[in-house]
Structure 1
């Protein structure tokens, strides 16, 4: 059991981050366990990004520079893998081509106009949201990055859930497609959202703020997961299944929505 968990952790961190972890076992059972614990990767990456951004904010760098550093750290910790997937999916969906042709566009190494626009707007929205949160307080800004990291990686449970087909016969998407059982995905997602709710509750400095911030964390996480699920459903219909790029698009879109919703709650709470 512990050996299987160790291999799953290696697979998860080895494929979802640039951390120096060697993937020693590459098979579907291990992939399923790895995607099931993807929220753990989100905790680590989100905490690292929050630490970098909070350190700069504490040193009076300004909220904007702290936000750029935090969002940039999250991107760097994945070599921009999910951002690349977002751009590819935007090009594929924007092409209005048949599934096979759209998948070919997504696989190309270049980036098209739809990808550029979506990528730019997504990064601007993330940076603006995190900067606003740091304006509201060091803790709220740092928590925004942690929330985004955890919520976005939790979407992988839905993307790799059993019943979701792969649009290709090879690649990371084909390896992880359908490897997570529905009941496991639901239980882990529920646990993750509950922990984020409790974290938001503990974040408040006064008792009157605890419930609004806890609800903010809850609604932000649920909104991010819901949008990613809608995007997945549309991509499966459009492309005939999911791909690694689709998973990346789910990660970035859910992170953006979670950040925007959390910012609204944080700003509305004194």
Structure 2
């Protein structure tokens, strides 16, 4: 039997749910929250008449409100067929890098558990990764999630179908990454730079002189930021040698800090 709860998510059941899903489910609909903060209270309010299976914060935290074998109230006529995930933020904003990674992890899990097809679809009768707006009037006539986020589905699918093996425990998401250091280049360096920007609160794409440019080139500023991460005494790892080289222990520390992050350091 397929799993009904997504292991990395905190399970917070809500009352706004009804009836079983049509099996097998067709895929994933990432919604845009049009706001910030957990949706548990709103989805547990019977007067709201809405819910989703999952909620994903800007910092990568996940909450699950409805088991995957039960209907959430997210896209009207599409409710029996699609797993829904509300994503913190607004339609005019892009996903944060960690949200893209989390959605890819979720979709990879759905491919394994439910046999979701590795496809992008704009039809309510399709399969894979869709959008709320593809259902038209029968799905509520919404534009969700907006052009910016809808156009990121290719990036989510590409990451979900890459050779990377996602960890069941999100704290270990960087397990097996290669050691990178000053002079290294490539996508692992880009992801490291994006993660460091999240951890240190420099994620805004413009106007922050302390933001690392995620260009995939491991230069002196990336070295210095890695050393700062290594010196930071997290509850799980304490301090580790601050040599500015991102090896297995530093990768793991980064994953654990990101998972437990409710504020920047």
Bigger share in strand: 2
Q: Which of 1 and 2 has greater Rg?
A: 2
Structures share fold, TM-score greater than 0.5: no
Q: TM-score scaled by structure 1?
A: 0.24
